[in-house]
Structure 1
Amino acid sequence: MATDSTTPLNLYRANLGLALRMLGCGHEYRRQACEFEMLRIKRDLAALNATRDAATGAHDWSELAAGYQTMLRDYMAATTNLWQQGLVSAARHQTACSDDMRDALAGWQAAWTGNWQQGAGMNLAALPLQDWMRRFEQTVRNALDCGAPFGRRTDSATPPATARRFAPPGEQHVG
């Protein structure tokens, strides 16, 4: 007598997808870091070659100083360019990884909560669990969508009374 498997693979797929996306982001970041390291090596090699050429071709101190000045100007321009490329790359990489993680976590959350809902069933004893799961889903969805902590959203400019540290001036203090 064979029994049907009641454990769906959706949660396992979601966990594997999340792990693979994290690994993919790490490998992409490492690839970009290696590319920038290669550009820095080329910049340093060009500076060394320019210094060598300035030292071998100079007939007096003024020619040597002019060669060094040209080398330093080129070196600083290349360094500034690398910094700008690095900042753009870091911002792009951070945005791409956060988008990937948000999508993966949303899929993981959907798979995870789907399994719990299937297990809860329609039994009257399971109603508290279903209510808890509904609140949990709403909290996670709000946190993933807009970054609000614990699903709290306040549309007013003033914080709630429990969040204020001190009472406003003129308010009665109860001690």
Structure 2
Amino acid sequence: MVSNPRRRTTLLDAGIDVLARLGARGLTFRAVDDEAGVPTGTTSNYFANRDALLRELGDHVFVRLAPDPAVVAERLAAPPSRALEVVLMQDIVERAQADRSGYLAMFELRLEASRRPELEVAFTAGYRANLDDITAAHVEGGFPGGDATALLLYLAMNGLLLEHLTLPGVLPGGDSALPGLVQQLVETIVPE
């Protein structure tokens, strides 16, 4: 395999964009090459096969969607509270709106994993680690509620993002209603 980290990242970002636009069935080496604007055959030089590309996309999507550490540090300088939890959840929605392709690709990867047991094993480990990190940050950060509260927030936010990004017309009020929905969601789940 070729070792050029910048090119690999470019190909992975292109793969995420292809997944978001065409779905897993449209994810081919040629489609990634075209999206990345590289010569035909470049993607096959970096990934042994389509499964290897999918597995790396499953890891890379977390890197791409991760919040800016400086923003997180700034937010977490405030005392943990339900109000801060609202701000943190609204940040997630804002990141999803800013990188719609990244979140759609994440959902597409989940769907592909449901069809392919070998991917399900790999993706489950990554998503489980992410949920464990979220739960630990919630509990150890001193936010109201415990493990169950963190789990319910995780599930509710995933559902909200899925609905908003795939069928935005379902949610009443469209984009302008999202901040209120997020606040209501947090106030319903997180104890005072």
TM over 0.5: no
TM-score normalised over the length of structure 2: 0.23
TM-score normalised over the length of structure 1: 0.25
Which of these two proteins has the greater Rg computed from alpha carbons?
1
